[in-house]
Amino acid sequence: MPVSSGLHPEPTREEGLSREEAARLLAEYGPNVLAPPPAISLWARVFAQLRDPLIVVLLAAVALTIATADYADAVIIGVVVLFNTSVGVVQEVRADNAVAALSAMTAPTARVLRDGTEQETPSADVVPGDVLILGEGDIVPADATLLQAAALLVDESTLTGESVPVDKDARSTDPEVAQLQAGTVVVRGRALATVTATGEHSALGVIAASMHPRQQMTPLQKRLAGLGKVLALVTVGLCLLVLALGLLRGQSLELMAITAISLVVAAVPESLPAVVTLGLALGARRMATRNAVVRRLSAVETLGSVTVLATDKTGTLTEGRMLLERVWTPHGTATFSGTGYEPVGEFLHAGVPPSPALADAVRKVLVAGALCNDASLVPPTEATTPWAALGDPTEAALLAGAAKAGCAQEDLALTRPRAGEVPFDSLRKRMTTLHSTPGGQIEIYLKGAPEAVLEPSLLDEKPDVLERAREEAAALSAEGYRVLAVAAGSRADLPGHAEEAEGGLKLLGLAAISDPPKEAAEATVHACRRAGITSVLITGDHPATARAIAARVGILQGDEVIQPDLVATGQELAAGQVPDLTRIRVFARTTPQQKLDIVEAWQARGEVTAMTGDGVNDGPALRQADIGVAMGRRGTEVARQAADLVLADDELTSVIAAVEEGRRVYTNIRRFLLYALAGGAAEILIMLLGPLVGLALPLRAGQILWINLLTHGLTGVAMGAEPASPDAMNRPPRRPQQHVLGDGLWQRVLRLSVFVTILCLGISLWSRHTGGPWQTVLFLALLAAQLGIALGLRERVLTRLNPSLPAAILAAAALGVAAVYIPFLSHLLGTSAPSWPDLGIATAAGLAAFTAARTENHFAKSTSNASNATTTSRPDRTPVR
C-alpha cells in the first residue's frame, strides 16, 4: 500500500512553545493583527465637508447678510450649508458601517502546539516561534516556514493574484515553496509550520503598511475649487461696481450695500453644493440597491470622470472558480457548458452532440478524473449561494465535469472503491489511485501535468500519439488553460507498492481547466470601449493565462491578441524593459509595488484611473487610484479598507452602472450651473444696464433674493435628480483637465444671460411706456424666464423619471405670483398687482426663454458630437483598437 497523505507522527519541535514563552513573545511582538485604519472623528468629517470652496463662499455670504441684518437670507444660506454637510457626513458613516459588516476574511482562531498539546487560540495571540497545525480550509494566520507537509496546496490569490493554487513542500530548496504567508488558504493537505512573522511584520502587514491615506482632490473637487475662485472674484468685482454706480447716482449707502450683497447671493449658486450632494446621494442610493457600497460620496462622480479602468483578473474579471471547459481525446475534442462548480451542463463537439465513440472516450477521461480525486463538491446551503469546492479547485472542476456527463463521484466510488494511492506532490507532479472492481480486477487511474504523464516510461502508446498529445497540451496551455493528462490501466492484483502500477498505461486524454470570465465581464469591457474608457488588465497570474482572459473579454481584440508589445510581465518591468507603461494593456506576474507604479504612470499622464481588485496585493493600487473598487464578498479586508466603492455582490457590471451615475451627476451639475449662472449673470446685467436705459433701480434687494430662493432653491435642487442621458455611455469621458465651465458651457451661459437680459429689460421698458408697474413686471418676467430655461434645459422635456422638477417649477411660479397678489409678501417685496396684459407678457418671457434653452441644447449636442468624433480619433485618448 502506498503512503497516504498523513503527517509524520512527530513534528520537528514536538512540544511547541510553552505558555510562558508564548506570553513573553506576545508582549514582545504584540498581537498578530493589522493596525486598524485611524478612526475619523465626527468633527474631522464635518470640517472636511466645510472646506469645500463653494461652502466657504456661502459662509462668507452668511457673514455679510448677518452684518447687514438680513437674517432671513442668512438662515436660508445656512440651511443649505447644514444640509450639504449633514448628508455628506451621514453617507460616510453609513458606508464605513457597511464595510465593517463585510469584514469576514479573517482567521479568528488558529491551531497551535503549546506545551506538547494541540490548542486552539485566537489568531491575534499567535507569536513568532509558534508551531501551527494546518488543514484543509484553514486560513494561515501568520507567515511561517514549513516543518512537514503532505499533499499541501495553498491558495495565494489574495497576495499574488494567481488563480491556480500552488504546491507547498517542506523538502523543497526553493524558499518560496517551503514558506507560507499570512492570509492565504489551505485548499488541500495538512502541514506543520513554524511562525516567522506576525502582524505588521508579515507579508500581509507590509503590504497594508504601504497604503498611505490618499490626499489628492477628486476631479469634481478640483473643478469646483477652480469655479469657486472664479465666481468669488467675478461676483465681488461686479457687485462692487454696482455699489459704486449706485452711489454715484445718489442712492443711499445702506440701500446699495444691501443690493450689492443680494447680487452676491444671486450670482453665487448657493444651491450648487446641495445639488451636488443630492445628486451624489441619489447616486449612492441607486448603487446601494445594486449591492454597491459607496464609501465616499465624491466617489460616484469620480467614476464618471474615469478614463482608465485597471482591473484585476482573479475574482474580478473571472469567477474565481475553476471550470472544466474542454476534454481532448485521440477521437476528438468536447467542450463543456455550465458555470462554477454546479454539476449542471452538457458537453458537445462542434456545437452538436458528440458521436458515440467520442462520448465514450470523454466519459472515460471523466471517470478517471473523478476517481483519481481528493476533492468534493459542496451543494449550496441557500438558494442564493453557489456550489462550492472542498479541496483542490482543479480537482473539483473535474468532479463537476464528470457529473455533467452522468459520472457522479459518489456512484463511481460505490462500484470502484479506492484500494491504494500515490498522493500528488510537487516533485512528481502527478497522482495515482488504485480501485477494486466487482470482477476482482484492479483499475489504475493517473492524472498530472502533461510533462510528467506523457512519457514512454508510463504510457504504452505509439510515439505519434504522444506527440499529438504534447502538441495539443502546448496549444491549450498557450490559450491560458491549466492542462491535466489522464491515463488508465488495469491489472489482476494489488501491487505491494502503488508506484509499481505506474507503467504500461493507456492515454485517455487531456482535460483543459480554467478560471473562466464572469458572464458580465465581456459586456463590461465592451461598455468601457463604447464609453471611451481604456481597460487594462493587471494580474499576478501567468502571462499566457492573462493574455487568454484579456482576449476572451475583449481587452485585446483582433491582431492585438498576438502582438507581443501589449503584454508585459513583472520581471520585464523590474528589468526596465518597458519604457512606457501606458502602452501595455495586459500586465502579468506583477507585484503589489508594480501595480502601484502602473496606476501612477497613468495618473502622471493626466488620466483619471479606477482600479478594481479583491486581494491584499491590490490594496496599494486601490488606495493610489483616483477611485478604488473592491469586491465585498470575495475581497479581503485590506482591499475593502483601501477602496472607495465596495461591490457587495462582486458583480463588475455595477462599476459601469456607477460610471453612468457619475456622468449623470456631472451632467446635472453642469446643467444647473448653466441655469443658475445664466440667471445670476442676467440679474447683474439688468442691475448694471437698467440705469443706462432709464430704470434707476431695476430690482429691489428683496425681489432679487426671492427670485434667487425660488430658482436656486426649489428648482435648482430638483435639477440634481434629472435622469441620465440615453447616450451617456456612448461618448468618451470628459477630458480630465476640462474646467467645469469648459466645453463651451461659459459661452452658453453668456448667450442665455444676454438673451434674458435683453428680453426682460425690453418687457419692463414696454410696461413703463404703457404706464404699468414696470418693476413688478420685470420681477415676474425674470422669474418666468429662469423657470423656462430650467424646463428647456432638460434632456427629455416630457420624461416622467424626475417629476420633482416640473413640480418645483410649478411651485416656484405659484410663489412668484403670490409675491404679487398676497398683501404681506407684496408689501415685503415692494411689488404691485400688474394688469392682465402685463402679466401675460411677463409669462411669455418664460416661453421665449424655454425656446432659447431648447435651441441651446440642440446646438450644444451637435457641437459635442462633432467634438467627440474628433476626440475618439486621437490615438492618445482612445483605447487600443
Cβ-contact 610, 306 below 8 angstroms? yes
* Number of residues assigned to the chain: 881
pLDDT tens-digit series, residues 48-67: 767 765 566 667 767 766 77
One DSSP character per residue, 696-761 reads: SSSS-HHHHHHHHIIIIIIIHHHHTTPPPPTTGGGSPPPPTT--TTTTTHHHHHHHHHHHHHHHHH
818, 822, 827, 828 alpha-carbon torsion, rounded to 10°: -50
**Helix H or strand E segment including 418:** strand 418-422
- Comparison of pLDDT for 69 and 646, the residue scoring more: 646
Average pLDDT, the chain: 82
Q: Which of 539, 532, 802, 795 is nearest to 656 (CA)?
A: 532
pLDDT of 872 > 50? The answer is no
CB-neighbour burial class of residue 320 (10 A; exposed 0-12, middle 13-18, buried 19+): buried
Can you tell me the distance from the alpha carbon of 447 to that of 444, in angstroms, rounded to the nearest whole number? 10
Average pLDDT rounded to a whole number, residues 373-377: 89
pLDDT of 383 > 80? The answer is no
pLDDT of 184 > 60? The answer is yes
Q: Which of 498, 450, 423 is nearest to 153 (CA)?
A: 423
Can you tell me the distance from the alpha carbon of 719 to that of 787, in angstroms, rounded to the nearest whole number? 11
Strands 166-168 and 534-538: unpaired
pLDDT of 182 > 60? The answer is yes
Q: Give the HSE-up count for residue 755: Cα atoms under 13 Å, Cβ half-sphere.
A: 23
Single-letter amino acid, residue 110: A
- Comparison of pLDDT for 563 and 652, the residue scoring more: 563
Quote the cell numbers at residue 135: 488543514
Q: Which of 169-178, 416-425, 872-881 has the lowest mean pLDDT?
A: 872-881
Q: With helix as H, strand as E and coil as C, how does 472-503 read?
A: HHHHHHHCCCEEEEEEEEEECCCCCCHHHHCC
For residue 878, the model assigns a pLDDT of: 40
Cβ-contact 168, 191 below 8 angstroms? yes
For residue 807, the model assigns a pLDDT of: 93
For residue 9, the model assigns a pLDDT of: 35
pLDDT tens-digit series, residues 536-555: 999 878 888 889 899 999 99
For residue 509, the model assigns a pLDDT of: 96
Quote the cell numbers at residue 547: 493574455
pLDDT tens-digit series, residues 815-831: 999 999 999 888 878 88
Cβ-contact 644, 294 below 8 angstroms? yes
Can you tell me the distance from the alpha carbon of 29 to that of 200, in angstroms, rounded to the nearest whole number? 10
Strands 506-514 and 534-538: unpaired
Residue 216's SS3 state is coil
Looking at the chain, the whole-number percentage of residues with pLDDT higher than 90 is: 30
For residue 484, the model assigns a pLDDT of: 95
Cβ-contact 319, 607 below 8 angstroms? no
Can you tell me the distance from the alpha carbon of 421 to that of 169, in angstroms, rounded to the nearest whole number? 19
For residue 442, the model assigns a pLDDT of: 93
Single-letter amino acid, residue 718: A
pLDDT tens-digit series, residues 768-816: 988 889 999 999 999 999 999 999 999 888 888 889 899 999 999 999 9
pLDDT tens-digit series, residues 331-357: 999 999 988 899 999 999 988 999 999
Q: How sure is the predictor about 143, in pLDDT bands with cuts at 50, 70 and 90?
A: very high
DSSP 318: B
Q: Give Rg (Cα) of the chain.
A: 35
Q: With helix as H, strand as E and coil as C, how does 799-867 read?
A: CCCCCHHHHHHHHHHHHHHHHHHCHHHHHHHCCCCCCHHHHHHHHHHHHHHHHHHHHHHHHHHHHHHHH
> Residue with C-alpha cell 488504485?
434
Question: In order of start, what are the domains of the chain with their CATH numbers?
Answer: 1-76+106-201 (2.70.150.10), 270-290+659-872 (1.20.1110.10), 308-318+519-650 (3.40.50.1000), 323-514 (3.40.1110.10)
Q: Which of 776, 644, 792, 774 is nearest to 715 (CA)?
A: 792
pLDDT of 234 > 70? The answer is yes
Can you tell me the distance from the alpha carbon of 204 to that of 641, in angstroms, rounded to the nearest whole number? 14
Is 580 labeled as catalytic in the residue annotation?
no
Q: Which of 155, 169, 312, 626 is catalytic?
A: 312
Can you tell me the distance from the alpha carbon of 686 to that of 729, in angstroms, rounded to the nearest whole number? 40
Can you tell me the distance from the alpha carbon of 213 to that of 225, in angstroms, rounded to the nearest whole number? 21
pLDDT of 598 > 90? The answer is yes
**Helix H or strand E segment including 38:** none
Q: Terminal CA-to-CA distance of the chain, rounded, Å? A: 59
Can you tell me the distance from the alpha carbon of 265 to that of 563, in angstroms, rounded to the nearest whole number? 59
Q: Give the HSE-up count for residue 871: Cα atoms under 13 Å, Cβ half-sphere.
A: 18
Can you tell me the distance from the alpha carbon of 346 to that of 353, in angstroms, rounded to the nearest whole number? 9
Highest mean pLDDT among 119-123, 146-150, 311-315, 753-757: 753-757
Average pLDDT rounded to a whole number, residues 615-622: 74
DSSP 14: S
Quote the cell numbers at residue 858: 440642440
Average pLDDT rounded to a whole number, residues 852-874: 70
Cβ-contact 19, 115 below 8 angstroms? yes
How remote is the C-alpha of 720 from its chain's centroid? Answer: 23
One DSSP character per residue, 244-291 reads: HHHHHTT--HHHHHHHHHHHHHHHTTTTHHHHHHHHHHHHHHHHHHTT
pLDDT of 106 > 50? The answer is no
For residue 874, the model assigns a pLDDT of: 41
For residue 573, the model assigns a pLDDT of: 92
For residue 613, the model assigns a pLDDT of: 79
Task: Please list, in sequence order, all residues whose beta carbon lies within 8 angstroms of the beta carbon of residue 262, skipping any fewer than 6 positions away.
Answer: 70, 73, 701, 702, 704, 705, 708
For residue 813, the model assigns a pLDDT of: 94
Can you tell me the distance from the alpha carbon of 230 to that of 228, in angstroms, rounded to the nearest whole number? 5
pLDDT of 253 > 80? The answer is no
Q: How sure is the predictor about 80, in pLDDT bands with cuts at 50, 70 and 90?
A: low
Single pTM value for the model: 0.70
Q: How sure is the predictor about 180, in pLDDT bands with cuts at 50, 70 and 90?
A: very high
pLDDT of 83 > 50? The answer is yes
- Comparison of pLDDT for 611 and 155, the residue scoring more: 611
- Comparison of pLDDT for 118 and 364, the residue scoring more: 364
Can you tell me the distance from the alpha carbon of 125 to that of 108, in angstroms, rounded to the nearest whole number? 10
pLDDT of 15 > 80? The answer is no
- Comparison of pLDDT for 856 and 255, the residue scoring more: 856
